[in-house]
Amino acid sequence: MATLTAAPIVSSRREFADSHTLSRFLATSGFEGLKKALSLFPEQVAAEVDAASLLGRGGAGFPAGRKWSMLRKNAVTYLVINGDESEPATFKDHYLVEHEPHQLIEGVTIAAYALQVTQAFIFLRGEFALGLERVQQAINDAYDHGALGQNIFGSGFSLDIVVHPGAGAYICGEETSLIEALEGKRGFPRIKPPFFPAVNGLYGEPTVVNNVETMSNLPWIIRHGGAAFAALGEGRSTGTRLFALSGRVNNPGMFELEMVKNTFRDVIFDPQLGNGIVGGGKLKAFIPGGVSAPWFGPDQLDVPLGQDEVANQASMLGSGSIVVFDEATCPVRAAWRITKFFSRESCGQCTPCREGSGWLERIMYRLEHGGGRIEDIDLLLDLCDNISPGLLWPPQQTTICVLGPSIPSSIHSAIKMFRDEFVAHATNDGCTYA
């Protein structure tokens, strides 16, 4: 039985149809965290976030407090919020920007105060038309309410936030690519070093880039204290997280759960959560954290939902999105579709990713749709190895950014777990399902 979090942290207004309005926000502790933060010294605010040991919710799971402390030694110029949520099967930031936009603005303002930044940008993926409108409205409301702009709540601290629409590119979720897009260019990732945003970010200035969900946790952390947040979860994984469940389950949806206290089995099978497999079928496999993550099988259902707990099983919790495959799911088809996605979204800078993703997609296509050969299975693994040498986890990299080494995850997982099905596809001259 799952341990639901007694009180949700970032989705606390979910029950209200008007959760996106200023009046609902003000009636539900809105701006209390910010007002408290402004009464503290910036270092004290940063110390609370350190004490919370809040891990970044974007996918990489880097501690937000440490990201900030790397910068506090030098003045930070810009705060950039990553809302380019595009990892397939991830839909948590979609909820946060549409339904709790003021909470995001409050969180950004708290972070800006801790970092003493006076200019922040919120980069939202362009496909979130409603989210863009809601966040812009929340910014407008905050200016009118004295919670943004000059001399916020009479504290002497000033901040401007600009919402910046993306235009349809998965790669812009990579922070240096996002910065390029914010500078008005093609979203090509920058090589690190030297372009670590903390040192050399937007316009060459020190820049902090944080995820929407990370920011949305800050009002609660300041209201209740970092220690209260750290008391939730276990080990390095503190607080709660928004888990996005989709695929072959009866009740797909987004659930805010305490970290580590629940397992994948809980999320997928608990009647209050995923409520089991469609049609009472059997689980075949699942993706634990977005399509860049290696797959898990039924043996890993009891792995707890924690950063290190999943990493210890050679995958990642990533963006917190779980995709469930049942017995009727063709693993070749699933891996082919994920590869097609990477092939479409590769930015084209680095040869292994640009060429490799296309080759892999074509080979996977012919295995699934006819024309595949037995030798293709080893050819796939060889090509994957050229993109990410050794096919290790965490992966080795031959490219500027991590999109490249994400490509082999699904193919390598599918072959490892279902090699016989690949063989059957090759001998059957196409898919063996239906």
Partner 1 sequence: MSHFNPELRQRAEELVALYPNRRSAMLPLLHLAQEHDGYLSEEGMAEVAELTGTTPADVQGTASFYDMFFLEPVGKYVVAVCTNISCLLAGGEELLDHAQSTLGCSIGGTSADGMFTLEEAECLADCNIAPCVQVNHRFVRTTTPATFDQMIGEIREGRRDSDIPPHGTLIRVRRNGVLRNTREALAAERAVAGDARDARKAQETK
Per CB under 8 A, contacts with partner 1 among 184-223 are: 184-187, 203
**One residue of 7, 27, 130, 227 binding partner 1 per CB under 8 A:** 130
DSSP state of 15: T
Cβ within 8 Å of residue 382, ≥6 positions away: none
Nearer to partner 1, 156 or 193 (CB): 156
Window contacting partner 1 (CB under 8 A); options: 153-161, 209-217, 370-378, 415-423: 153-161
| Stretch 351-370 residues interacting with partner 1 (CB under 8 A) | none
**One residue of 56, 59, 247, 289 binding partner 1 per CB under 8 A:** 247
Q: How many CB atoms lie within 10 A of CB 49?
A: 26
Least distance to partner 1 from the beta carbon of 105, Å? 12
State the Cα–Cα distance between residues 63 and 61, nearest whole angstrom.
Answer: 6
DSSP state of 9: S
Is 27 a residue that touches partner 1 (CB under 8 A)? Answer: no
Least distance to partner 1 from the beta carbon of 227, Å? 22
Nearer to partner 1, 162 or 231 (CB): 162
Least distance to partner 1 from the beta carbon of 40, Å? 11
**One residue of 16, 143, 195, 433 binding partner 1 per CB under 8 A:** 143
Q: x/- site string to partner 1, residues 39 to 78, per CB under 8 A? A: --xx--------------------------------x---
Window contacting partner 1 (CB under 8 A); options: 14-22, 27-35, 117-125, 294-302: 117-125
**One residue of 24, 36, 333, 362 binding partner 1 per CB under 8 A:** 333
| Stretch 380-419 residues interacting with partner 1 (CB under 8 A) | none
Nearest residue to 408 via CA among 284, 295, 271? 295
Tokens linked to 328: 């009727």
**One residue of 35, 66, 236, 337 binding partner 1 per CB under 8 A:** 337
Window contacting partner 1 (CB under 8 A); options: 309-317, 322-330, 381-389, 425-433: 322-330
State the Cα–Cα distance between residues 401 and 136, nearest whole angstrom.
Answer: 31
Q: Give the distance from CA 240 to its chain's centroid.
A: 14
**One residue of 248, 284, 366, 412 binding partner 1 per CB under 8 A:** 248
| Stretch 161-180 residues interacting with partner 1 (CB under 8 A) | 162, 164-170
**Residue 283, SS3?**
strand
Least distance to partner 1 from the beta carbon of 162, Å? 5
| Stretch 287-316 residues interacting with partner 1 (CB under 8 A) | 287, 291
State the Cα–Cα distance between residues 18 and 39, nearest whole angstrom.
Answer: 29
DSSP state of 383: H
Judge whether 78 and 120 are in contact, CB under 8 Å: yes
**One residue of 63, 146, 225, 253 binding partner 1 per CB under 8 A:** 253
Least distance to partner 1 from the beta carbon of 325, Å? 7
State the Cα–Cα distance between residues 147 and 156, nearest whole angstrom.
Answer: 12
State the Cα–Cα distance between residues 226 and 37, nearest whole angstrom.
Answer: 12
Is 148 a residue that touches partner 1 (CB under 8 A)? Answer: yes
Cβ within 8 Å of residue 317, ≥6 positions away: 61, 288, 289, 293, 305, 306, 307, 310, 311
**Residue 102, SS3?**
helix
State the Cα–Cα distance between residues 190 and 326, nearest whole angstrom.
Answer: 39
